[in-house]
Copies of this chain bind each other. A is one copy, B any other.
Amino acid sequence: MTKKIGIADTMFSRVDMFPFCKKVIGNAPQKYAIERYTVPGVKDLPVACKILFEKYRCDIVIALGMSGKMPVDKICTHEASTAIQNAMLMANKHILEVFVHMDEVKNDRELFRIAKNRAEKHTLNALALLKGKEALTHFAGKGKRQGKEDVGGIWFE
A-to-B contact residues, CB < 8 Å: 9-18, 35-40, 43-44, 46-48, 50-52, 54-56, 72, 74-76, 78-83, 85-90, 92-97, 101, 104, 108-109, 111-113, 122, 125, 129, 133-137, 139-146, 151-156
A88, chain B: closest CB distance, angstroms: 4
- Quick check: B47 and A16 within 8 Å, CB to CB? no
Given A17-B141, A40-B122, output 14 extra A-B contacts at Cβ < 8 Å: A10-B141, A11-B136, A13-B153, A36-B134, A38-B134, A38-B139, A40-B125, A40-B144, A46-B89, A47-B92, A50-B92, A75-B81, A83-B85, A86-B89
- Quick check: A88 and B83 within 8 Å, CB to CB? yes
A43 partner, pick from B35, B44, B97, B141, beta carbons under 8 A = B97
Among A93, A96, A129, A140, max chain B CB count under 10 A is at A140
A75 partner, pick from B74, B88, B141, beta carbons under 8 A = B74
User: Which residue of chain B has its CB nearest to the CB of A104?
Assistant: B72
- Quick check: A38 and B140 within 8 Å, CB to CB? yes
A104, chain B: closest CB distance, angstroms: 7
A47, chain B: closest CB distance, angstroms: 4
